Amino acid sequence: MTAPGAGLRVEDVVVLYRDDDGTTKAAVDGLTLAVAPGEVVALLGPSGSGKSSLLRAVAGLEPVARGRVTWDGTDLAGVPVHRRGMGLMFQDGQLFPHRDVARNVAFGLQMQRVPRAERARRVAELLDLVGLAGFGDRDVASLSGGERQRVALARSLAPRPRLLLLDEPLSALDRALRERLADDVRAALTATGTTALFVTHDHDEAFAVADRIAVMDAGHLLQVDPPAVLWHRPSSRRVAEFLGYEAFVAAGSPVGRALTGEAGAPAPDALLAVGPGSLHRVPDGVAATVRGAGFRRGVVELVVDVEGVGRVTVVEPSGDPAAALPAVGTQVTVRADPHRVAVVGGYG
């Protein structure tokens, strides 16, 4: 069992910055968050939400104006960056161009004065873990962007940091590569038992990497939950909108009941959040008008105006490749899949 106070704890932390007009504002405003040993928490939010400011405050790179940051109950105030026992990984990887791959990965171990043979074993182990076995002698300039980020991850893990801080580490890569590397980052963190705080604005990355996701907006923490709970039970309409839900309807309204059917309907005072994939076409559902149709990555996407709900994206398997897409203006009827509609506890 984890001891109370073990791991990282951020308590009522405020981080200030000076705006262009000279006004002091809060980048992080009274935020409290705990990360247990071995846990991976993603900070997810739009640009300017305070994610990176919080991460930098934990690292000791930004001053904390109020509150405190602790590790295993010990206040880190006044502890310099290099003595916090934390690893840092950024968007550009920041590899040393004059060192080959192995010597990049070994850098932190050299700083710790780890014996040469033990360094070599650790470097080989981590390069194998991140899928770069045999790359030790390579010049880093010869690597692709994805390979460089794998080296940066291995280098960050090598000294066995008690906390790894990752700030948008995959954002410079293309979408397909980000998706693959997000899974690899998760696997590496899990295999090494590394406690991590992972900053991202990308929903898919957060859901792929994290044990829990902390949604931030305007310096505030809106919700912290495991990915499945966050997706199916957003705490507010604001969280649901950020996650990509497109329309909202009272569960007890006539259209709410028609969408979900009587069986298994949520409480009448709940708010149903409807997003891409929540609805499917049926012969006897709620009336909708097709406003757009397209084919993407093996599925058909229909943008429809649903009577009493609003504009929503219907996502369906592509089926017959010769079948024509519905024309704009076509009338269809839809119903919700109860497992793909989020239930918001109130109208917040």
pLDDT tens column, 291-334: 998 888 788 899 999 988 899 999 888 777 667 788 999 999 98
Would you state the pLDDT for residue 45?
A: 94
161 token code pair: 């940091």
340 token code pair: 């793909």
Residue with the two structure tokens 């106070």: 5
Tell me how far CA of residue 274 lies from CA of 294, 317, 341, 342, in angstroms.
Answer: 20, 18, 5, 7
Tell me how far CA of residue 34 lies from CA of 6, 83, 108, 183, in angstroms.
Answer: 9, 21, 27, 23
135 token code pair: 């790359």
Reference 226, options 218, 234, 237; nearest CA is 234
Would you state the pLDDT for residue 4?
A: 60
**CATH 3.40.50.300 domain position(s) in the chain:** 8-240
CATH superfamily of 8-240: P-loop containing nucleotide triphosphate hydrolases (3.40.50.300)
**C-alpha–C-alpha distance, residues 268 and 315, integer Å:** 26
pTM more than 0.75: yes
Would you state the pLDDT for residue 348?
A: 40
Q: What's the length of the chain?
A: 348
User: Which DSSP symbol is given to 139?
Assistant: B
What stretches in the chain show pLDDT beneath 50?
263-264, 346-348
Residue with the two structure tokens 């506890």: 345
290 token code pair: 């097709």
Would you state the pLDDT for residue 347?
A: 41
Beta strands in the chain (DSSP E): 8-18, 24-35, 40-44, 66-71, 74-75, 86-89, 163-167, 196-200, 212-217, 220-225, 247-250, 271-274, 279-296, 299-306, 310-317, 331-336, 342-344
